[in-house]
């Protein structure tokens, strides 16, 4: 992964003399991740936005689709996932927009920091925040719509999907933060690319809820494969997005 | 310098002539030479331009991928100009593919649209490259726009097969390509017509790509000149 | 998958498809859309290219003039 940083031209290189580079890489990821999470714990900006938006989306869907218990096993997975993904774009958009607004992006870019480590740290921060939001919204979904949900199973599926969302979302939020209409650009870039994740998560959740329309496929393994591809491609091309 | 311009012009004239001639031949063949499909009737002839346009759309997005890699590797705006050009042409062809496909599906499937694998992934593809064009339009700095869209050009194309297979596993209802299906075999007249149409449409794409890239290059050049003049005027004042 | 999808779209097919007038109508509509799209794009390209080249001439002339005055 560190190879993707070779043609970045600028930025100090970590001294590989004392430590094995894997350890250095791990420490870099940890440093940025800890910073982002501490910031989030203090402000709770992204988490609040995601949670309120997701719950509001669930309530809105209830009126828009007239969600009665008998239709929930078929429609429920989609409702849950759309609420979560739409909510998470709010948090994803802040990943780099906040760094730009505070003028701290230059600091991050000048720091002796591997770009892949930065990508991975930002991805993990997003993933943790999305997971936290999901941990609240899944039980809320079960209670509000009176669906017998195997909460650990559904939560696990959603988290597999969230890895893909965070992987692509982190990459695109770095690009969208430089565009004119950045709130608009992120979802427009994100949603078409994420169609496979959407299909995988909704089908897998459908199987878990006993939906009649879900196709019997190894969706969880497919999700793991998709996640692997998105994270690998994201880590490889992230360097190009941040070259200033 | 001038001889290369003359050479370029001669090559362009040759390309345009070939495009017009082969397109005329393809058009004549699809009207007079190809036999009428027994099951589908006359409307089956839509295939002779629908299928080639779909091929060209994928080709165009593949060219975007190649040019994106080329740009990130060489940092030469000529690669980017071609990527820009090919993305726009690809969106044009994808739009026409979706419309002509709908017009075929209505009489044959009795529906304008169905969410099967090939249709759905083509529609998602259309959205990805519309987003590509929007990203370019919304990123003010040219170098940055080139870099960002190159990243999207790569990620988007890698995503194409993933989207295709995931939608296929989800559900599908599209006729398998008639050409590779062993039975019933399409008559050779149909295949020849399709082949000529493929060549014609690829030539149309090549002509568009040359013209559109030249347009982008000229605009880049003009922008550079304008910026230099503005700088000079500012330094005089 | 071949069989079932083939069977399904044949089953869904309406008498429309066998009616030659309807069939020709759809073919003409699709052909016209394609021709309008491709020819329209060509015209737009040629026009834009002409105006970009004219602008380049303009800028080149202006550059030469300012060099002469210097």
**pLDDT per residue over B178-209, tens digit each?**
544 444 567 888 899 999 999 999 999 999 99
Predicted local confidence at residue C8, as pLDDT: 52
The tokens describing A227, both together, are: 């996640």
Whether residue B184 has a cis bond before it, omega within 30° of 0: yes
B24-38: average pLDDT:
88
ipTM: 0.85
Is residue A146 included in any domain, yes or no? yes
Is residue A4 included in any domain, yes or no? no
Predicted local confidence at residue A182, as pLDDT: 77
B217: Cα separation from own chain's centroid: 19
Contact B211 C45 (CB under 8 A): yes
**B204 at C interface, C-beta within 8 A:** yes
Taking one residue from A and the other from B, the number of pairs with CB-CB distance under 8 angstroms is 80
CA quadruple B134, B139, B141, B143: dihedral sign: negative
Q: What angle do CA B232, B234, B237 make, to 5 degrees?
A: 110
Exposed e or buried b for every residue in C29-40, given b needs 16+ CB within 10 A?
Answer: bbbebbeebbee
pLDDT at B154 over 60: yes
Predicted local confidence at residue A110, as pLDDT: 84
Indicate the average pLDDT of chain C: 79
Is residue A182 included in any domain, yes or no? yes
- Domain span including residue A194: 17-241
Predicted local confidence at residue B184, as pLDDT: 58
- Domain span including residue B216: 2-236
Cβ contacts (< 8 Å) between B45 and chain C: which residues? Answer: 27
Residue of B nearest to C46 (CA): B211
Is residue A10 included in any domain, yes or no? no
Predicted local confidence at residue A10, as pLDDT: 40
Cβ contacts (< 8 Å) between C24 and chain B: which residues? Answer: 42-43
Predicted local confidence at residue A3, as pLDDT: 43
Is residue A153 included in any domain, yes or no? yes
Predicted local confidence at residue A9, as pLDDT: 39
Which is nearest to B76 in space by CA: B146, B164, B175?
A: B146
Residues of chain A with pLDDT under 70: 1-19
The contacts of residue A13 (CB under 8 Å, 6+ apart) are: A112
Predicted local confidence at residue A197, as pLDDT: 93
Q: Chain A closest CA to B136's CA: distance in Å?
A: 9
Predicted local confidence at residue B62, as pLDDT: 96
**What's the Cα-to-Cα distance from B26 to each of A7, A96, B17, B178, rounded to whole Å?**
48, 52, 14, 19
**CB-CB: which of B50, B100, B107 is closest to C17?**
B107
The contacts of residue A118 (CB under 8 Å, 6+ apart) are: A28, A32, A108, A238, A242
Q: Which of B9, B22, B32, B42 to mutate to test the interface with C (most CBs of C within 10 A)?
A: B42
Contact B218 C23 (CB under 8 A): no
Contact A168 B155 (CB under 8 A): yes
**C2 at B interface, C-beta within 8 A:** yes
**B45 at C interface, C-beta within 8 A:** yes
B158-181: average pLDDT:
72
**pLDDT per residue over B102-131, tens digit each?**
998 888 888 888 887 888 889 999 999 999
Which residue has better confidence, C20 or A15?
C20
**CB-CB: which of B124, B140, B155 is closest to A237?**
B155
Cβ contacts (< 8 Å) between B166 and chain A: which residues? Answer: 195-196, 199-200, 222, 226
Task: Report how far residue B152's alpha carbon sits from residue B141's, in angstroms, rounded to the nearest whole number.
Answer: 16
Predicted local confidence at residue A20, as pLDDT: 75
pLDDT at B230 over 70: yes
Contact B135 A179 (CB under 8 A): yes
Is residue A141 included in any domain, yes or no? yes
Predicted local confidence at residue A76, as pLDDT: 85
**B108 at C interface, C-beta within 8 A:** yes
Predicted local confidence at residue B53, as pLDDT: 96
Confidence of residue C70 (pLDDT cuts 50, 70, 90): low
Predicted local confidence at residue B69, as pLDDT: 96
**pLDDT per residue over B58-85, tens digit each?**
999 999 999 999 999 999 999 999 999 9
Q: Chain B closest CA to A237's CA: distance in Å?
A: 7
Length of chain C equals: 70
**A180 at B interface, C-beta within 8 A:** yes
Which is nearest to A193 in space by CA: A138, A158, A234?
A: A234
Contact B135 A196 (CB under 8 A): no
Q: How many domains does chain B have?
A: 1
Q: What is the CATH number of the domain that holds B17?
A: 1.20.120
Please compute Rg for chain C using Cα positions: 27
Stated as kind and residue range, the H or E segment containing A244 is none
Which residues pair with residue B37 across a beta bridge? Answer: B41
DSSP for chain B, written as a single string? -HHHHHHHHHHHHHHHHHHHHHHHHHHHIIIIISPPBTTTBGGGGGHHHHHHHHHHHHHHHHHHHHHHHHHHHH--HHHHHHHHHHHHHHHHHHHHHHHHHHHHHHHHHSSS----HHHHHHHHHHHHHHHHHHHHHH--SHHHHHHHHHHHHHHHHHHHHHHHHHHHHH----PPPTTT--SSPPPHHHHHHHHHHHHHHHHHHHHHHHHHHHHHHHHHHHHHHHHHHHHHHHHH-
Q: Chain A closest CA to B147's CA: distance in Å?
A: 7
% chain B with pLDDT above 90: 61
Q: Chain A closest CA to B203's CA: distance in Å?
A: 30
Predicted local confidence at residue A11, as pLDDT: 41
Cβ contacts (< 8 Å) between C22 and chain B: which residues? Answer: 107
Predicted local confidence at residue B176, as pLDDT: 55
């Amino acid at each position: 992964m560190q190879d993707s940083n070779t043609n970045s031209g600028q930025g100090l290189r970590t001294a590989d003399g004392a430590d094995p580079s894997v350890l250095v890489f791990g420490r870099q990821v940890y440093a940025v991740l800890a910073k982002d999470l501490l910031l989030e714990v203090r402000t709770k900006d992204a988490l609040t936005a995601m949670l309120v938006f997701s719950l509001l989306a669930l309530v809105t869907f209830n009126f828009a689709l007239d969600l009665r218990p008998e239709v929930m096993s078929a429609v429920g997975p989609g409702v849950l996932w759309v609420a979560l993904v739409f909510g998470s774009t709010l948090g994803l958009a802040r990943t780099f927009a906040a760094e730009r607004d505070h003028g701290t992006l230059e600091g991050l870019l000048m720091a002796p920091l591997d770009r892949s480590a930065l990508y991975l740290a930002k991805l993990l921060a997003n993933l943790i925040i999305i997971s936290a939001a999901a941990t609240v919204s899944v039980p809320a979904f079960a209670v509000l719509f009176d669906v017998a949900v195997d909460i650990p199973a559904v939560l696990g599926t959603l988290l597999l999907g969230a890895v893909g969302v965070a992987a692509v979302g982190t990459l695109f939020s770095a690009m969208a933060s430089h565009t004119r209409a950045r709130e608009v650009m992120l979802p427009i870039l994100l949603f078409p690319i994420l169609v496979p994740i959407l299909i995988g998560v909704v089908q897998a959740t459908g199987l878990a809820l006993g939906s009649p329309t879900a196709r019997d496929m190894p969706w969880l393994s497919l999700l793991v494969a998709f996640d692997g591809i998105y994270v690998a491609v994201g880590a490889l091309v992230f360097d190009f997005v941040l070259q200033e | 310098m001038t001889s290369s311009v003359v050479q370029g012009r001669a090559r362009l004239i040759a390309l345009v002539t070939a495009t017009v001639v082969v397109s005329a031949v393809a058009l004549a063949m699809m009207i007079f030479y190809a036999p009428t499909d027994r099951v589908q009737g006359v409307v089956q002839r839509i295939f002779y331009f629908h299928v080639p346009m779909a091929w060209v759309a994928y080709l165009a997005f593949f060219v975007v991928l190649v040019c994106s890699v080329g740009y990130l590797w060489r940092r030469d705006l000529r690669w980017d100009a071609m990527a820009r050009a090919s993305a726009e042409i690809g969106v044009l062809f994808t739009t026409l593919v979706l419309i002509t496909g709908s017009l075929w599906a209505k009489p044959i499937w009795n529906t304008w649209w169905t969410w099967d694998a090939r249709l759905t992934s083509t529609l998602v593809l259309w959205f990805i490259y519309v987003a590509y064009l929007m990203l370019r339009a919304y990123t003010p700095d040219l170098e940055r726009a080139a870099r960002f869209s190159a990243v999207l050009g790569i990620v988007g194309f890698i995503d194409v097969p993933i989207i295709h297979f995931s939608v296929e596993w989800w559900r599908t209802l599209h006729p398998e390509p008639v050409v590779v299906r062993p039975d019933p075999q399409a008559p050779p007249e149909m295949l020849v017509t399709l082949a000529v149409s493929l060549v014609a449409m690829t030539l149309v794409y090549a002509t568009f790509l040359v013209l559109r890239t030249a347009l982008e290059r000229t605009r880049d050049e003009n922008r550079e000149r304008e910026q230099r003049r503005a700088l000079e005027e500012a330094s005089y004042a | 998958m071949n069989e079932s999808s083939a069977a399904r779209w044949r089953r869904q097919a309406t008498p429309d498809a066998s009616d030659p007038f309807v069939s020709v109508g759809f073919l003409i509509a699709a052909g016209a859309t394609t021709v309008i799209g491709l020819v329209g794009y060509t015209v737009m390209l040629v026009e834009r290219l002409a105006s970009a080249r004219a602008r380049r001439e303009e800028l080149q002339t202006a550059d030469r003039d300012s060099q002469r005055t210097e």
